[in-house]
Each structure stands twice: as structure tokens, then as C-alpha cells.
Amino acid sequence: MNGTCNYILTRMESAGLPYEAVFEEARQLGYLEADPTLDVGGIDASHKLAILSSIAFGTRIDFGAVEIEGIERVSIDDIRRAADMGYRIKLLGVAQMTPRGLEQRMAPCLVPAESPLGQLMGGTNMVVVEGDSVGQIVLRGAGAGEGPTASAVLSDVVEIARGVRMPVFGQPAAALQRAKPARTAVPAAYYMRLELQDKPGALAKVATVLGDAGISIDRMRQYGQHSDSSVPVLVVTHKTTPEAIDYAIEALPRTGVLVSDPVELRIEEV
């Protein structure tokens, strides 16, 4: 839902450039807000998600209930490792009504490279709607830069000038219902990147923490050393709960074998 983030992530992949270099490119192209955190921090996209949730479910906008994570932690290594497994990394916003309440989350995720979202390149946006009767509907269009932004604003001005009066949310705002907010609980597989000390027993300690959290490992890969004392390790889990992942991410640094903070990304099969 943010063309700037999609430009940065796809440019990192196609050019093999680090996040910082592509961030500066996006600034030079005029893709970034005056406060870049609104874009790369996922805030702009979360505003859009809250509005779309309101339209989709007839609920009042609740931006404070959106779980937000930006793309700042995504490295060129993550981009390459995801590609090795047939995935691409996208800033993905998901809203779904569950028996527990309305889930709203915005975070970078791995999606299949051949999926509609995986094929979305450059400063483009995409919205995927899933309905009981209509199935999946995919909408895509330009989402970053002065041209697309000016076009969207001018179209609103033209509608006002023509006297078009449609309810913004498909119904009067007073009719919108307050939804109970719910944290994400739907199980999913997760990608984890760990920088470990290159010493005996390090992997065993990681496996123990994951086992204690009830997380089953699907794949584990060790790549070439980053230095004489550390080595990158990639773990892909079987489906597990966000609570289990949170427990593991909090416990892993206490093992004493991590060189840097772990990075985890949800895998969405959309």
C-alpha cells in the first residue's frame, strides 16, 4: 500500500544495492514524504489500511489498533535469501474480521515470487480483496511520485466540482460500528535471520529456544562467514503463532550466541 516502500524493496533486489543507497535514490526521485518515517516506517500505509478496513467491514477507523512495522530492518541479505527460496519481501497490510475481533497489521512479509503481490515491481500499489462470493479481486496502480499523487487529488476536486456526493465509507459515517480490536493470532510460517558466534553449540542453543517456544523448524541454512567470529544462519519455521515467535525473539539474545538482534518476517501465502 506504499509505492515508495515497494520501489525501495524491488530496487534493492534488482540492483543488489543496500537499503541506505536505495533510500537516498527514492529521496532524489521525490518519492519520500517530508518525514520519511511516514513511508519507510509503515505509517502512511497503515493509515490507508485503517481506511480500507472501515470500508470493507463497516467499522469506525481505528488507526491505533493497527500493528505497525516498517521496512528499516530489511537488509540486502534478507532480499537475497528470500529470493533463494522463491519469495520476495513486500510491505504487506492485512485486515480481517475474526470471531475475536478485527485484526489489522502492517509489516514486511515474504510472499511467493510468482503471486500477484510478488510480481508487483517499482513504485506501484496493489490491493487484494477476498470475498465469500466473488473470491479474490486484485487492484493495482501507480502509487508513488508527484504525477500519481496529483492525479488522485485532482480527481477528488473534480468530483466535488461536479456535485458528486457519495458516502466516503459506502454508508453514513454515523452508521459505522465500533469493532473490537484483536491482535494477530493466525498461525503462519516465519523466516528468521540470525547472526551467530562461530563456535560449537551455537546452533544447538538456538534449536533449544525454538523448541521451548513450541516452534518446529522447516529449513535451516548456514551461509559463508561474515567474519572470523560470526556466521549468518537462516531458519524457516513450520506454521506457528505470533506469540511463539515473540517468545523466541525475546529469548534468543539470552543464549549468549547472537552477534546482533534477530530478524523475523512472516511468510504470507497469498
Closest CA to 127 of 83, 94, 170, 102: 94
Name residue 123's amino acid.
G
Contact 120, 13 (CB under 8 A): no
- Contacts of 242 by beta carbon, 8 Å cutoff, 6+ apart: 183, 184, 185, 188, 266
Q: Is 48 among the catalytic positions?
A: yes
Of the listed 48, 90, 199, 205, which one is catalytic? 48
Catalytic positions: 48
